[in-house]
Structures are given as C-alpha cells and as structure tokens.
Amino acid sequence: NAGVTQTPKFQVLKTGQSMTLQCAQDMNHNSMYWYRQDPGMGLRLIYYSASEGTTDKGEVPNGYNVSRLNKREFSLRLESAAPSQTSVYFCASRPNREGSAFFGQGTRLTVV
Amino acid sequence: AQTVTQSQPEMSVQEAETVTLSCTYDTSESDYYLFWYKQPPSRQMILVIRQEAYKQQNATENRFSVNFQKAAKSFSLKISDSQLGDAAMYFCAYRAYSGGGADGLTFGKGTHLIIQP
C-alpha cells in the first residue's frame, strides 16, 4: 500500500522560479492537506481540501496556490519562490470527520 | 484560535525506563481530538495515539498511554519500557470536531526525545 505519495522528495529552486509539489493518495480519503515544517516549529497548515473541487486557506496560505485535481490528487504551487518558503512540506489525507490523518514522506524545498 | 504548547524542547531517558512528555492546549470547543505523532530522523510523521475528548478513559497503545485531563486542558504521553527506536521528535496535535469536518491539525513545537543506552 502506497498511502500518501509526494513528489519530489528534494528540490532546490532559485528565487523567483515556480514549481508544483505533487501529492496523491490511494486510500479513497475525502480530505487532503498541505503543511509546512520549519526548524523548531511544528507543522503549520497551508491549505486544505474537504472534498474534490473545494479548497480553503489554512494558517499560512500566502505565496501558495493549490488544486484538487480529483479525489486522489492535491497539488501545491509556488508561483514565485522566495527564500522564506524554504521548508519541509507535508501532504496528508484523512478519510472522514472521525478519522486520523496519514502523512506523506515530505518534500525538502530549498530556495536560494 | 487554538494553540498547543509543548514546554519540554528536549527530554532524555535511559533505555527500559519510563518517560512522560507534556502537552497543554487552549480551545473553546467542547468536542475535539488530540493526537501524538512521532517523527524519526526519516522525517515520516507517524501517528502514535489519539484521544477523543468525549471519552473519559485514557487511550493506550501497547507501551504508549496518555493522561488526558480535559478540565486542565492537559494531554501528556507516557512511554513505558523505552526502547532505542523510540528516539524521535514527538508532536502533540489538536483538531476540533466541528465546522465542515475537514479542519486541519494544530501542532505544538515538538519534544526531542533521546534514549540513552
């Protein structure tokens, strides 16, 4: 079972470049999430999607856009990367209101 | 807004001994979930244990148990018979059971657990 799969695992960008982080889950979960983790911090919610076709802002949405392409896939886009977006990014999914979240293995992004 | 506080940046324990990690939270909700996640050096976030606020009984999972004090808004994790594989960052997390049901998790800053052989 793959669970939640994120690509890529590592990425280095130059300031101003754009990129999309991909996330896919094979557990038929309804809700999906993007978090970022900075040194000395817990994870912070960027965006989430309650179901296919819906997205909502989390705690730190500035500088990001998301797309819930279908039930399986939820992508995170950086249009113009900034050094402040250097972080580890986690995608997660949850089956329903009562369920627990399952996380992908994370993407380490460095913006130079 | 909800907040989660882990006051111990780092804890150390001898192998086979017991250690307790602390967590407090602040919320105005009456129904919610609390979680402990483990993050080893591999970076993977692994669910250790969860507690539903409406349940008075403390959750247990093998060597892991919690002490949930709803009135005090306290949620500590006890690890018994500590093993070298328990070494990791541990994060306390909160989620409300309200709204549209898709709310994300609010995390504490984590406790780095060191296991001394």
Average model confidence (pLDDT) for chain B?
Answer: 94
| Residue B64 touches partner A, C-beta closer than 8 Å | no
Look at the block and give the residue holding tokens 């907040």. B3
Which phi and psi angles does A14 have, rounded to 5°?
Answer: -90, 150
The minimal CB distance from B102 to the residues A31, A43, A106 is found for A31
**pLDDT given at position B101:** 58
Which residue of chain A comes nearest to B98, CA vs CA? A97
Of B44, B103, B109, the CB nearest to A42: B109
Spell out which residues of chain A touch residue B106, defining contact as CB-CB under 8 Å. 45
Give pLDDT, residue A40: 85
Rounded Cα distance between B92 and B109, Å, is 8
Contacts 24+ apart (CB under 8 A), A73-76: A73/A22, A73/A23, A73/A24, A74/A23, A74/A24, A74/A32, A74/A33, A74/A34, A74/A49, A75/A20, A75/A21, A75/A22, A75/A23, A76/A20, A76/A21, A76/A23, A76/A34, A76/A46, A76/A47
Looking at residue A44, the DSSP 8-state letter turns out to be E
User: Using 50, 70 and 90 to split pLDDT, how confident is the model at B23?
Assistant: very high
Q: CB-based contact (8 Å) between A106 and chain B?
A: yes
Residue A73 gets which letter from DSSP?
Answer: B
pLDDT at B102 over 80: no
Q: What average pLDDT does this structure show over A41-70? A: 94
What is the model's pLDDT at position A84? Answer: 97
Say what the pLDDT of residue B99 is: 60
Identify the three-state secondary structure at position B72: coil
Separation CA A24–CA A66 (nearest Å) = 13
Identify which of A34, A50, A47, A48 has the alpha carbon closest to the alpha carbon of residue A87.
A34
Between residues B2 and B85, which one has the greater pLDDT?
B85
- Percentage of residues in chain B having pLDDT higher than 70: 96
Mean pLDDT of A62-87: 97
CA distances from A110 to A6, A64, A77, B12 (A): 16, 15, 14, 31
Instruction: List pLDDT tens digits, range B51-84.
Output: 999 998 999 999 999 999 999 999 999 999 999 9
